[in-house]
Amino acid sequence: NTFIANIAVDLGKGGCDDAFAYMSDELGYGLIVYSWENNTSWRVTHSYFMPDPLAGDYNIGGLNFQWGEEGIFGMSLSPIALDGYRTLFFHPLSSNREFAVSTRILRDPVLALDSYHEFQ
């Protein structure tokens, strides 16, 4: 199951040819990265994309419910840093933590698959 909940568009210093889209797959617990220049996409997975089961118990106006099935829901990009890349901040729907990763990692499909500790 795939459900794109959010899209963050990253225009690098190279303009439109340096454009990437980061799409949160809320139900597939992944992040889909699309390169405009190469017209290709790849999927990134990480345990930080999963919901926190301890944060999925909600009480709103006296109505108690559990909502712990969705992955990445919120995303935001920082301004371009000195190294030429942005930071993607993200969090699962049910989570009390905000996570981050450099777009330098996400923009490289090989690096994105082997950079567990680059995610914070």
Q: What are the tens digits of pLDDT across the range 38-49?
A: 999 999 999 999
pLDDT in tens, 59-102: 899 999 888 788 998 999 999 999 999 999 999 988 889 999 99
Percent of the chain with pLDDT over 70: 100
- Identify the DSSP state of 114: T
pLDDT given for residue 109 in this prediction: 94
Measure the CA–CA gap between 59 and 4, rounded to whole angstroms: 26
- What average pLDDT does this structure show over 28-43? 96
Tokens of residue 17, six digits: 């040819």
Phi-psi label, residue 38: left if phi above 0, alpha if psi -120 to 50, beta otherwise: alpha
pLDDT in tens, 90-115: 999 888 899 999 999 999 999 998 88
CA dihedral 68, 58, 89, 41 (to 10 degrees): 30
**Other C-beta atoms lying within 10 Å of the C-beta of residue 19:** 15
- What average pLDDT does this structure show over 3-9? 94
pLDDT given for residue 58 in this prediction: 86
Measure the CA–CA gap between 65 and 57, rounded to whole angstroms: 6
Q: Which domain holds residue 41?
A: 4-118
Measure the CA–CA gap between 100 and 117, rounded to whole angstroms: 11
pLDDT given for residue 74 in this prediction: 92
* Helices and strands, counts by H and E, the chain: 2, 9
CA atoms within 13 A on the CB side of 84: 9
Total number of domains constituting the chain = 1
